[in-house]
């Protein structure tokens, strides 16, 4: 039951992250997704380690939120045309169908975690890849990359539970969020300067 709720949260968050355009809503979606990843992780590891999975996602999201709030110019708008959302939704659906078909093979490649973990991990990684492929904007790129890595971390928890590795992977998440926030801040300053002429 816990795994199912976690999977719904993780996939729902990742889908919303892909489809939404407003950065506030995107960050809320990412927080929900991180909570879902933590719930799925809880089916494999003690609550403390699972909470680390969620918290590292929330910290990364908070880092990005602070960067957007302090940016000197708003994020460039991506197309909000319905066709764009339909395309993204269909692309995600195609990826999920492919994952469903390849699940046993993916499970073997990931070291044989339980079915629900493989499903959640590969769905997150797939959605993350799609986000990465559809944007050039640093913050969205960062969120896509964090989504992909969250999927991997979920699967990796099955075979590796060393505290140092978990701490390092959380550091990687935070470092990616910081790097993308920095790139966004510099880009935002550049846009402001361009706007002023």
Residues that bind another protein (CB under 8 A): 108-111, 132, 136, 138, 141, 145, 148-149, 152, 155-156, 159-160, 162-165, 167-169, 171-172, 175-176, 178-180, 182-183, 186-187, 189-191, 193
Q: Which two tokens stand for residue 37?
A: 């990843």
Nearer to another protein, 2 or 115 (CB): 115
Nearer to another protein, 88 or 191 (CB): 191
Gap between the Cα atoms of 129 and 125, Å rounded: 6
Nearer to another protein, 69 or 163 (CB): 163
Gap between the Cα atoms of 180 and 136, Å rounded: 11
Nearer to another protein, 100 or 175 (CB): 175
Q: Packing angle between helix 138-159 and helix 47-70, nearest 10 degrees?
A: 170
Secondary structure letter of residue 174 according to DSSP: H
Cβ 63 vs Cβ 177: under 8 Å: yes
Q: Closest approach of Cβ 107 to another protein, in Å?
A: 12
């Amino acid at each position: 039951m816990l795994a199912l709720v976690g999977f719904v949260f993780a996939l729902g968050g990742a889908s919303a992250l892909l489809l939404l355009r407003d950065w506030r809503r995107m960050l809320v979606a990412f927080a929900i997704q991180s909570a879902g990843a933590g719930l799925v992780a809880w089916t494999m590891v003690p609550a403390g380690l699972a909470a680390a999975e969620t918290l590292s996602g929330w910290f990364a999201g908070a880092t990005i939120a602070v960067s957007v709030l302090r940016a000197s110019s708003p994020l460039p708008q991506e197309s909000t045309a319905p066709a764009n959302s339909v395309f993204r939704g269909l692309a995600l659906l195609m990826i999920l169908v492919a994952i469903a078909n390849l699940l046993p093979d993916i499970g073997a490649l990931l070291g044989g975690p339980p079915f629900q973990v493989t499903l959640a991990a590969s769905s997150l990684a797939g959605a993350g890849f799609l986000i990465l492929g559809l944007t050039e904007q640093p913050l969205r790129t960062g969120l896509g990359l964090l989504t992909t890595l969250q999927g991997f971390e979920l699967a990796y928890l099955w075979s590796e539970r060393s505290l140092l590795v978990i701490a390092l992977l959380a550091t990687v998440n935070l470092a990616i969020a910081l790097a993308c926030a920095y790139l966004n801040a510099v880009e935002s300053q550049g846009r402001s300067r361009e706007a002023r002429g």
